[in-house]
Structure 1
Amino acid sequence: MSDEQPNQPHESISSRSPFLPLKAFNFFLYGAIAIFASFFPLYLQDAGMNKLEIGTLMAIGPFVSLIANPFWGYLVDRMENTRRMLILMLAGTLVLAQFVFHAQSYTMIYLTMVLFFFFQSPMFAQSNTMILGYIDGTGRKFGAFRLWGSIGWALTAAAAGYVIDRTGTTPGVPWLFTGLMGVTLIFAVVLPSLRRAADTTTVAPPGGFRAVLANPSFAAFLLLGVLVSIPNAMNGTFMTLYITDLGGSRELVGWAIFSASVLEVAVFMIFDRFFRRRLGFMMVCLTTVSILFALRWYLMSTVTDPVNIIYIQMLHSVTYAGYFYVGTLMTSMFVPDAFRGTGQALFTLSWSGVSGIIAGIFGGWVFDNFGAPMMYQSGTVLSIIGAVGFAAMGYTLYRGGHLAPLAAAGKR
């Protein structure tokens, strides 16, 4: 595809409308990852792994993301072509998944998972960067495209639970993941070209991470995000195992995942309608979301009937979607356009990188030795600490008179 006009100040697209294939791309991308994130732990359990082994293996992804996200974020900013980089990530993920599913030993599966996560872990961050690039200057809202990811996650999980309950995790999980990832790659290829114009004022210079983290408010936001995200990552890894330990079926797992995501559509639409790009408003939102996270984990620690998890999971639509939406846009406010990919990579590292490593190892150890209720109780405590931290951060910025200048900067 031909490159676009060279003298525009932001990423531009070809004359073909990207919006329909962009929605389809998000639908199938999130559907594919829903299969992997939700049913792969069951696949490993059926292969004979215990909770700590599963948690350790899944922690490889966040660990690798500490390297992969900066690497791909830097490439996106330097190459100025988010779509092309995403196509490369998708192709690598699709190929390496076949080695993961056909590994014959623990050593081989650990090795192949390292390579798999190197391509897979940055995809969410860079897909957000791509959405922001396509809608830049169009008046379109981020949530209107991201909600298609939630629809894909919810519907795919419900359908997959039914299928896997009847076919088993093998071959159900490999077939479904491969098929959906293949369709995602096709839609990425048919998207019109997206390329930032060659303007020296927008090209990212070296030292992007230092420049981004030099903002102390953004650094504090990332650190508090780690605390709030650890229990969310523990739930993402072990919730399906918790359901089956309580006697629930694979189909029930699918419905629990469906209930967690189906209302995200409404949440994104509400945020698109009422959200205000003011830092004070954002800090209130993050504090509220953290409190709701704490409530969610406390309720999970009291469950005795696996069916109740379906209802508790509905809070995911408010907690995760709210944190994700606010965090993505807050990152775009704190970070200059030239470091857009780097900033989103750092945000992803905070809620799935560092927190994911701790969640996989610590969560697996607590689950194995003390049970799931204790794991969720520890998550309740971390979320409360995060809520207090966000409230204190908002108050500090208010007392320092920083809210108004940052809000104005966010309206670039």
Structure 2
Amino acid sequence: MRSYWTSERIVHLRLRAFMFFMFGPVALFLPYLPLYLQHHGFSPAEIGWLLTIGPVVAMLSNPVWGYASDRLQNVKLILLILMAGSLAASQFLFHVRPFWAVFLAMMLFYFFNTPIHPINTSQVFQTIEGTPHRFGSFRIWGSIGYAVIVLASGPIMEALGIEELGWVYGAAMVLAILVGAMLHRPPAPRGKKTRQAFTFREAMRSTLRGRFALFLAASLLIFIPNGVTALYLSLFIEELGGTASSIGWSMFVAAVLEVPLFLLLDRWSKPTPRSMMNLLLFATVMYVVRWALMGFAATPLHIIMLQSMHSLTFGFYIYTAAQLVEYLSEKTFRASGQTMYALVTGAVSLAIAGSVGGYLYETIGPHALYFICAALSAAGFAVMVALRVSFGFGPEASDQRAESA
């Protein structure tokens, strides 16, 4: 019994360490890539198109890699392949200059990079299935890693210069790959025996019907404004007179407050349909408020202060949504469910934010753009209400009725 506990503890410690280091490259890429591209002469509209083509490619790569993970039942192998591919593509991206070459590099990078997080989420759920552990106790280490790296990155990038971003990102990714190589392969999903012979069409049909499809529609409306912030917040801060350190502090404030939030949600939230829907509705209302206030931001300090709402919006949403995806997905297709959710909230939302958002940023400015973001979140709230109604919660709503969705 003691050896089992020790082995289980090592498995979980390594997974938490991987979560910490895996979020390091994330903290370096999107916050600073727009500044890097601007430094090399690209306009906001060109930056938008460059950041859009990658998510378009990811619309194909996410389902493919999710299907591969479900088929092979080996998320560790898939993760290492994806991270190695991301590292190689990033060095191509950061060491070419013509627009067409950067365009091609972005396509290659997103093909490997965007499936990493949903497949890792599937790995966490596979590891903790049948144990008393909760998702937040692992996801919290991603927030800590992001907060630490993004805070340290500001002074580092000011000292080295934004042109050295590629080497800094590469070093962070190498470290994440080394830690990932020490992961234990999680067991196959428990319960009904996993079928070995299923098709890509089956995986897609399973994730694009009923309540899951309605949930994806709501998430798209809610995450387009997140995409705008991910792509253009650094430019917005610089436009208001901020520096790389200001960008780092804004990201740090957003990430560090996720830590106590995940601990509280692990302790007090319940993974039932009613509880999950109520938390998602609360997060969406906070999104509306957050984006409306961003429309009035006049200094970098205002943005840093508003980033404190990140935990009440993004933190609440991703914690709850990851569990809802697991709940609505069939056991056989859970990796596909996570990658489809990540496709909509990542690739599709970023594609819209990068193309339409880049055009609006140039034509009407960031303040008016954020008022539009508030309106989109309000529309997402309306769809989320419809989803909650579809569960038909009564005084004694049963989980079995929701499971049949």
Structure 1 residue 48: deviation in Å? 0.8
Shift of the 375–197 alpha-carbon distance from structure 1 to 2, 3 Å rule, reads: closer
Question: Which deviates the most, 386-395 or 362-371?
Answer: 386-395
Structure 1 residue 201: deviation in Å? 2.4
The SS at the match of 1:18 is: helix
Residues 1:288 and 2:285 are matched in the alignment: no
Residues 1:235 and 2:229 are matched in the alignment: yes
Partner amino acid for 1:128?
Answer: T
Q: RMSD across aligned C-alpha pairs, in angstroms?
A: 2.1
2:143 corresponds in structure 1 to: 150
1:313 corresponds in structure 2 to: 307
Residues 1:378 and 2:372 are matched in the alignment: yes
Contact 1:82-1:195 within 8 A present in 2 as well: no
1:191 corresponds in structure 2 to: 183
Residue correspondences, number:
396
The SS at the match of 2:181 is: helix
Tell me how far apart the structure 2 counterparts of residues 275 and 199 of structure 1 sit (CA, whole Å): 24
Same amino acid, percent of matched pairs: 33
2:114 corresponds in structure 1 to: 121
Shift of the 279–105 alpha-carbon distance from structure 1 to 2, 3 Å rule, reads: same
Structure 2: any 5+ residue segments left out of the alignment? 1-6
Partner amino acid for 1:348?
Answer: A
Tell me how far apart the structure 2 counterparts of residues 304 and 141 of structure 1 sit (CA, whole Å): 40
Shift of the 131–407 alpha-carbon distance from structure 1 to 2, 3 Å rule, reads: farther
1:56 corresponds in structure 2 to: 49
- Normalising by structure 1, report the TM-score: 0.92
Contact 2:257-2:308 within 8 A present in 1 as well: yes
Structure 1 residue 184: deviation in Å? 0.6
Shift of the 407–260 alpha-carbon distance from structure 1 to 2, 3 Å rule, reads: farther
Tell me how far apart the structure 2 counterparts of residues 190 and 210 of structure 1 sit (CA, whole Å): 35
Cα deviations by residue, 1:87-107 (Å, 9 ceiling, x for unpaired): 000111111111111013111
Shift of the 361–315 alpha-carbon distance from structure 1 to 2, 3 Å rule, reads: same
Partner amino acid for 2:150?
Answer: A
Tell me how far apart the structure 1 counterparts of residues 385 and 402 of structure 2 sit (CA, whole Å): 21
Contact 2:211-2:390 within 8 A present in 1 as well: no
Cα deviations by residue, 1:133-189 (Å, 9 ceiling, x for unpaired): 111222211100101111111111111011112221111x11221111001100111
The SS at the match of 2:392 is: helix
Contact 2:325-2:337 within 8 A present in 1 as well: yes
2:316 corresponds in structure 1 to: 322
Partner amino acid for 1:58?
Answer: L
Tell me how far apart the structure 2 counterparts of residues 77 and 338 of structure 1 sit (CA, whole Å): 7
Tell me how far apart the structure 1 counterparts of residues 189 and 211 of structure 2 sit (CA, whole Å): 30
Partner amino acid for 1:113?
Answer: M
Shift of the 31–407 alpha-carbon distance from structure 1 to 2, 3 Å rule, reads: farther
Shift of the 199–391 alpha-carbon distance from structure 1 to 2, 3 Å rule, reads: closer
Question: Which deviates the most, 129-138 or 88-97?
Answer: 129-138
Contact 1:278-1:403 within 8 A present in 2 as well: no
- Normalising by structure 2, report the TM-score: 0.93
1:78 corresponds in structure 2 to: 71
Structure 1: any 5+ residue segments left out of the alignment? 1-13
Give the 4+ runs in structure 1 shifted more than 3 A. Answer: 197-200, 399-403, 405-410
Structure 1 residue 212: deviation in Å? 2.6
Structure 1 residue 403: deviation in Å? 4.8
1:160 corresponds in structure 2 to: 153
The SS at the match of 2:59 is: helix
Tell me how far apart the structure 1 counterparts of residues 349 and 77 of structure 2 sit (CA, whole Å): 29
The 5 A counterparts of 1:326-405 are 326-398=320-392, 403-405=397-399
Structure 1 residue 400: deviation in Å? 8.6
Tell me how far apart the structure 2 counterparts of residues 143 and 385 of structure 1 sit (CA, whole Å): 28
Contact 2:272-2:399 within 8 A present in 1 as well: no
Structure 1 residue 398: deviation in Å? 2.1
Question: Which deviates the most, 401-410 or 105-114?
Answer: 401-410
The SS at the match of 1:196 is: coil
2:95 corresponds in structure 1 to: 102
Q: Which one of the candidate residues 262, 266, 271 is aligned to 1:277?
A: 271
2:174 corresponds in structure 1 to: 182
The SS at the match of 1:45 is: helix
Shift of the 198–219 alpha-carbon distance from structure 1 to 2, 3 Å rule, reads: closer
Partner amino acid for 2:12?
Answer: F
Tell me how far apart the structure 2 counterparts of residues 232 and 153 of structure 1 sit (CA, whole Å): 17
Shift of the 16–310 alpha-carbon distance from structure 1 to 2, 3 Å rule, reads: closer
1:212 corresponds in structure 2 to: 207
Structure 1 residue 246: deviation in Å? 0.7
The SS at the match of 1:398 is: coil
Structure 1 residue 300: deviation in Å? 0.7
Question: Which deviates the most, 89-98 or 194-203?
Answer: 194-203
Contact 2:61-2:112 within 8 A present in 1 as well: yes
The SS at the match of 1:258 is: helix
Shift of the 405–317 alpha-carbon distance from structure 1 to 2, 3 Å rule, reads: closer
Contact 1:151-1:261 within 8 A present in 2 as well: yes
The 5 A counterparts of 1:13-28 are 17-28=10-21
Tell me how far apart the structure 2 counterparts of residues 199 and 285 of structure 1 sit (CA, whole Å): 28
Shift of the 370–324 alpha-carbon distance from structure 1 to 2, 3 Å rule, reads: same
Contact 2:261-2:315 within 8 A present in 1 as well: yes
Tell me how far apart the structure 1 counterparts of residues 62 and 396 of structure 2 sit (CA, whole Å): 29
The SS at the match of 1:271 is: helix
1:6 corresponds in structure 2 to: none
